[in-house]
Amino acid sequence: MILGVCGWLGEKMGIQESSIRIGFVVAFFLFGAGLGLYLILWLVKVLSKD
């Protein structure tokens, strides 16, 4: 959404980015882990060279 993680992850995994966004929102509200996971994946995206 904001940092482009869902689009990047969807491209890497071959999954629609809307499904990934829904997964992050559900993880955030149910487990409180969605935001932390999103930020970790953003760091991975920034540090990867492809």
Which of the two residues, 2 and 20, has the higher pLDDT score?
20
Question: What residue numbers bound the domain in which 39 lies?
Answer: 5-47
Distance of CA 48 to the CA centre of its chain: 15
Our count of domains for the chain comes to 1
- The DSSP secondary-structure symbol of 44 reads H
Check residue 14 and give its pLDDT. 93
Q: Would you say 11 and 18 are in contact if contact means Cβ atoms under 8 Å apart?
A: no
Q: What is the pLDDT of residues 13-50, one digit of tens each?
A: 999 989 988 888 888 888 887 788 888 888 998 898 76
Q: What is the pTM of this model?
A: 0.72
Check residue 50 and give its pLDDT. 62
